[in-house]
A and B are shown apart, each in its own frame.
Chain A
Amino acid sequence: MFAITMLYGQRIQAIIMLRNIDVSLRRLKVLRDNARRALIETIRSFGDSSRDPTPEVDRLLEYFWIQPTNLDPYGIVAKIEHFMNLHDERLRAEVGALAPKADRTQVVNLENLAEVGLALNTIYRIVRHFYLFGKKTMSIFIIYQLEAQLPQIIQEAEAYASGMQAFQLGQPIGDGAGSLVAAKFMYGTEKWVIAKDTVASELSFEGRRLIVLKAEGPGANVGKIGEALTKILEENMGRISLVIMVDAGMKLEGEETGGVSEGIGAAIGGIGVDRFKIEETATKFGVPVYAIIIKESLQDVIAPMKKEIYAGVEEAVNRVRRLIRERTREGESVILVGVGNTIGIGQ
């Protein structure tokens, strides 16, 4: 018995770990297949009944975009933005062509659904690659690495999967918390489109001029917040006393969903293009940028919005009011930015 453990212990361990990975891999496959089926069904409901969208959907699910090289990082943000825009436009055009009966909101939602499917497919393919590679080489180190990362990978995949329902039906998601705060200020005022998929409105709040920005709802837009904010700051020649950004933020284990916290800085996620732009212009004009975060877990971000998050939104609205009162005087101008995917949230 002892000799067997000595000689084959590592091999036995590798086999046990591979079995565990196999179970997770099958789970990932189920999630991917569900997303694919949901995408096909939804596209079919908006498209020609005579045409089968399956081959096109399979092509979309393997879509990729290559990040620009950072070998020479000068000007990389503009490059990233350019290629990211291209990717988004191409995906939207493809989805739009497949679903000619869908209106603008539904096309944007479909685009997001396709993104979810794409992400799940990529996760599945990469995990499968390392699983098969580990199985082929029986290298304990490759298997160890995969096994160690799996819980996080599965969590991420489940988060994506929980977003499918919302994107299919147009329900607000946790990420929209920031947008909802902005929408509550915007409601009932006149709005104009300030950048692609982004709206702005102006109102007066206790003697201050308040300019509110958010992505255009109720489609699944995130808008071009960086561009819009830069535009407003430049139009006003920096005569803005305060910028307040509200966004959904990552909650740590043990913290409460819907909790609100405040800080300094550009509260906006994504690859960093918007953050770069906001930081650049805010620094140029010397405008203070305050951040308010509504906390939620990774799973909540693209799942249908929870009740607790609405409580957080109310709290954030109150904090915004308090910040404006305390940090600005009457007659000054303030910009409020609601960051996040505004699916299922109008304005």
Chain B
Amino acid sequence: MEERGRTLGLGSLMTFIILALILLFFSIFLIYRSMTAYVQGDLPVSFSYLIFSLMGLILSSYFLMHLKNARLRAAKKVPSVFTMVECLQCGFKNIRSFQKGDYVLKRAEGCPKCSQSMLITSIYAEAEQKP
């Protein structure tokens, strides 16, 4: 199985981020312009700059938040499954990744210590690890 969930391609993801960042910087620039206009005493101009910059800020943060959700969905992966084989003679234990045909309580390969055949005692999924 591949990644679960609807995820964006890497290319469109990058353009998405860049666009959101450009919007963010532009909004910050507008705030700066609004402040300079205010200092110069041009209140109406200052006010309209402020409105536009706020709109830009809200939009860009909304996009970035959306992105975070998309990334979270992409991070959900299929769990990896391990097989534990045990030697009932000498107690030797080995954990390896699951192989097709394995099942619990199946006689498995020989023990590397005493060459008796070992037993599969558990097959388990390791909890998903989040970075």
| Neighbouring A residues of B104 by C-beta, 8 Å | 172, 180, 183, 217-218, 344-346
Check if B71 is an interface residue, CB within 8 A of chain A.
no
Q: A: which residues have CB within 8 A of B?
A: 23, 26-27, 30-31, 34, 38, 161, 164-165, 169-172, 180, 183, 187, 217-218, 303-307, 309-310, 344-347
Check if A27 sits within 8 Å of B5, measured CB to CB: yes
Known contacts being A165-B1, A307-B127, is A172 close to B103, with CB within 8 Å? yes
Known contacts being A38-B1, A307-B124, is A218 close to B100, with CB within 8 Å? no
| Neighbouring A residues of B101 by C-beta, 8 Å | 170
Across chains A and B, the number of contacting residue pairs, with CB separation under 8 Å, is 75
Choose from B5, B105, B124 the contact partner of A305 (Cβ within 8 Å). Answer: B124
Looking at chain B's contact residues, the main secondary structure is loop
| Neighbouring A residues of B4 by C-beta, 8 Å | 30-31, 34, 161
| Neighbouring B residues of A27 by C-beta, 8 Å | 5-6
Find the residue from A38, A187, A217, A344 having the highest chain B CB count within 10 A. Answer: A344
Chain B residue nearest to A173 (CB atoms) is B125
Check if A346 sits within 8 Å of B103, measured CB to CB: yes
Check if B5 sits within 8 Å of A344, measured CB to CB: no
Q: Give Cα distance in the complex from A344 to B98, angstroms.
A: 11
Chain B residue nearest to A30 (CB atoms) is B6
| Neighbouring B residues of A217 by C-beta, 8 Å | 103-105
Check if B44 is an interface residue, CB within 8 A of chain A.
no
| Neighbouring B residues of A31 by C-beta, 8 Å | 4
Find the residue from A180, A183, A346, A347 having the highest chain B CB count within 10 A. Answer: A346
Could you write out 12 A-B pairs with CB less than 8 Å apart? A23-B6, A26-B6, A27-B5, A34-B2, A165-B81, A171-B81, A171-B98, A183-B105, A217-B104, A217-B105, A218-B103, A310-B122
Check if B100 sits within 8 Å of A304, measured CB to CB: no
Q: Give Cα distance in the complex from A36 to B106, angstroms.
A: 30
Q: Give Cα distance in the complex from A180 to B105, angstroms.
A: 9
Check if B123 sits within 8 Å of A344, measured CB to CB: yes
Q: Give Cα distance in the complex from A34 to B4, angstroms.
A: 9
Chain B residue nearest to A313 (CB atoms) is B122
Check if B109 is an interface residue, CB within 8 A of chain A.
no
Q: How large is the interface on B (under 10, 10 to 19, 20 to 34, 35 or more residues)?
A: 20 to 34
| Neighbouring B residues of A30 by C-beta, 8 Å | 4-6
Least CB distance, A143 to chain B, in whole angstroms: 22
Least CB distance, B119 to chain A, in whole angstroms: 8
Q: Give Cα distance in the complex from A152 to B104, angstroms.
A: 32
Choose from A26, A34, A183, A304 the contact partner of B124 (Cβ within 8 Å). Answer: A304
| Neighbouring A residues of B105 by C-beta, 8 Å | 183, 187, 217, 345-347
Check if B106 sits within 8 Å of A218, measured CB to CB: yes
Check if B103 sits within 8 Å of A165, measured CB to CB: no
| Neighbouring A residues of B74 by C-beta, 8 Å | none
Check if B1 sits within 8 Å of A34, measured CB to CB: yes
Check if B123 sits within 8 Å of A172, measured CB to CB: yes
| Neighbouring A residues of B123 by C-beta, 8 Å | 171-172, 304-305, 344
Q: Give Cα distance in the complex from A347 to B107, angstroms.
A: 11
Q: Give Cα distance in the complex from A217 to B127, angstroms.
A: 25
Least CB distance, A35 to chain B, in whole angstroms: 10
* Known A164-B1, A218-B106; further 12 A-B contacts with Cβ < 8 A: A34-B2, A165-B78, A171-B81, A171-B98, A171-B102, A171-B125, A172-B104, A187-B105, A305-B123, A309-B124, A344-B103, A346-B106
